[in-house]
Amino acid sequence: MPDTTDQRPYHHGNLRMEFLDAAERSLRAHGVDQLSVRDLARDIGVSHAAFRRHFADRRALLDALAESGFVRLGAELRAAVDAIDGEDDLSARLHAFASAYVRFATENAALTGLMNSSKHRPGATAVAEAAAAAFGQIGDLIEEGQARGELDEGDPEDIGLIIYATVLGITSMLNSGMIEPGRLEHLVDTAVTQFLRGASPTEPR
């Protein structure tokens, strides 16, 4: 009997997304080490061969999942910053950026871990590019602050890395149980406030 499983309508252009969605659910529930391509195919209701039409192997699936995670993160960061009234309010925009990142990273802890471990892997060019696009927004904010004399001069990427490293550390501590969720908002607020204080010019221009 012919295999009719692959003839479902959603397989025409959407099966790739079905695998990504199923992979994210598995990642959230069981972690990356337990993610099985054959289990995903079975859960979706297709053959293992159907998977091969969209991904070369398990690593390619994980890279695609990490890439899509950075695309989603970038969109959420952009939306949070754009929601602030007044483009000249650097403090509010940096707070919005940091809060949006922390919210994404704590609500998607396993995915964030995969994203961070994948972006520097040799050959993961698409993942690295998606990560750069997402976090490049912090550099844009730093440049705007420098242009208005609100922040010290220096490489915007290096300066932005400081605030990113700080909020990354806070979320990592929360996700590992080292700090309580109730402290999160206050810690993020304090981190951004201290960053702005330290990065402000010693003398007004």
Percentage of the chain modeled with pLDDT above 90 = 76
Q: What is the pLDDT of residues 89-130, one digit of tens each?
A: 899 999 999 999 999 999 999 999 999 999 999 999 999 999
Left (φ > 0), alpha (ψ -120 to 50) or beta: where does 142 sit?
A: alpha
Q: What number is the average pLDDT over the span 4-30? A: 75
Question: Per-residue pLDDT for 5 more than 70?
Answer: no
Q: What is the 3-state secondary structure (H, E, C) of the chain?
A: CCCCHHHCHHHCCCHHHHHHHHHHHHHHHHCHHHCCHHHHHHHHCCCHHHHHCCCCCHHHHHHHHHHHHHHHHHHHHHHHHHCCCCCCCHHHHHHHHHHHHHHHHHHCHHHHHHHHHHCCCCCCHHHHHHHHHHHHHHHHHHHHHHHCCCCCCCCHHHHHHHHHHHHHHHHHHHHCCCCCHHHHHHHHHHHHHHHHHHHCCCCCC
> pLDDT digits over 48-63, tens only?
888 988 999 999 999 9
Torsion 104-105-106-108 (CA) sign: positive
pLDDT at 189: 94
CA distance 9 to 134: 33
Residue 69 has pLDDT above 60, yes or no: yes
